[in-house]
């Protein structure tokens, strides 16, 4: 079960509660939601719990989730490869694995109440927050690590040690958010924050999740980052017009839309809307593009920057 499959599992779980939800959302500038405020509220968590034993598919997904969480209890923390190997290209595989571990462990804790999963996730958080940086030269690494750390911090907020919370807040700010402000101010059209590729959506989504996670500590910084992300993400999404086609190919469609889904869910939960992003021409048709690009054999049409099998975002 790799990252794309896990994120898909999460949204499949969420499909059991998306109707009839009762979320307390805020408009911009109004009251901040309590933790957890990213992607999976306490109300949604309770609705999932209430459905256990009544939905066979849900029960099966839960068994698979718990089995994988048990496996993750035994895996060692990931070491920063830059400590041992000079000129290591990037730490993107580390960042992606952290998203995978954090979503799995934190979700398993929230649905089962088993503290072992929270304790393991906290150890992972502390470990990666003690990296000297999250590889800002290759900003996808920062974006995905910020996603992992923000979700872990937010979903486990009530059980994290105060020292861990402090470390995470400091790390998100100094290793991610402080860097993006300069990028918004000075980056040219080819900047990761402004370009017209998957980098735009992935990186801006990571920064939005990080900003929302620690917004109570840095409200003006969070407001600025969220505003700039909403401003520049259309540079990528405009290419979905008119029929939802991703010019980078089906694999990068998967990567882009995995993060776009997280972004839209987070914005809708916290602001009551997504500032028009989901209404851009072609966005609502984009799922049809991927459906028609996938063959009965499971292979995908390998045009543009896409192979015929593994999605580009899969570690």
Of 173 and 87, the one with more pLDDT: 173
pLDDT band at 312 (very low <50, low <70, confident <90, very high): very low
pLDDT band at 263 (very low <50, low <70, confident <90, very high): very high
Give the whole-number percent of the chain exceeding pLDDT 70. 84
Map tokens 């927050």 to a residue.
129
Range 45-56 average pLDDT: 90
pTM for this entry? 0.88
8 A C-beta contact, residue 43 and residue 16:
no
8 A C-beta contact, residue 149 and residue 99:
no
Q: How many CB atoms lie within 10 A of CB 242?
A: 8
The pLDDT tens digits of the residues spanning 194-239 come to 899 899 999 999 999 999 999 999 999 999 999 999 999 999 888 8
Task: Give the span between the Cα atoms of 286 and 296, in whole angstroms.
Answer: 19
Domains defined for the chain, CATH in brackets: 3-11+39-78+92-293 (1.50.10.100)
In sequence order, the 6+-apart residues with CB closer than 8 A to the CB of 106 are 117, 118, 121, 151, 152, 155, 156
By CB neighbour count within 10 A (0-12 exposed, 13-18 middle, 19+ buried), where does 20 fall? exposed
The pair of structure tokens assigned to 35 is 């933790």
Task: Give the span between the Cα atoms of 295 and 17, in whole angstroms.
Answer: 31
Residue 24: pLDDT over 50: no
Residue 89: pLDDT over 60: yes
In sequence order, the 6+-apart residues with CB closer than 8 A to the CB of 188 are 194
């Amino acid at each position: 079960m790799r990252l794309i499959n896990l994120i898909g599992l999460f949204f499949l779980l969420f499909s059991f509660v998306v109707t009839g939800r009762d979320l307390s959302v805020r408009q911009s500038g109004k009251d901040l939601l309590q933790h957890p405020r990213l992607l999976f509220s306490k109300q949604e968590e309770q609705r999932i719990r209430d459905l256990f034993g009544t939905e066979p598919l849900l029960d099966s997904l839960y068994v698979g989730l718990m089995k994988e969480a048990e496996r993750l209890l035994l895996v060692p923390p990931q070491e920063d490869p830059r400590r041992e190997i000079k000129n290591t290209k990037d730490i993107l595989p580390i960042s992606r694995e952290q998203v995978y571990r954090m979503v799995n462990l934190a979700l398993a804790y929230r649905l089962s109440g088993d503290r072992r999963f929270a304790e393991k996730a906290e150890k992972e958080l502390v470990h990666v927050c003690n990296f000297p940086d999250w590889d800002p030269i290759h900003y996808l690494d920062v974006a995905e690590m910020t996603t992992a750390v923000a979700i872990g911090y937010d979903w486990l907020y009530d059980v994290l040690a105060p020292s861990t919370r402090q470390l995470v807040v400091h790390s998100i700010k100094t290793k991610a958010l402080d860097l993006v402000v300069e990028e918004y101010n000075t980056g040219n059209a080819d900047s990761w924050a402004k370009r017209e590729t998957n980098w735009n959506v992935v990186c801006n989504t990571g920064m939005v999740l990080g900003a929302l996670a620690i917004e109570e500590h840095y409200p003006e910084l969070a407001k600025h980052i969220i505003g700039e992300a909403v401003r520049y993400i259309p540079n990528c999404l405009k290419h979905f017009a008119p029929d939802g086609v991703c010019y980078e190919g089906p694999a990068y469609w998967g990567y882009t839309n995995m993060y776009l889904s997280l972004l839209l869910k987070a914005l809708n939960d916290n602001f009551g809307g997504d500032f028009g992003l989901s209404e851009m021409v072609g966005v609502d048709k984009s799922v049809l593009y991927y459906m028609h690009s996938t063959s009965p054999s499971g292979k995908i049409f390998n045009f543009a920057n896409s192979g015929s099998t593994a999605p580009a975002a899969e570690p």
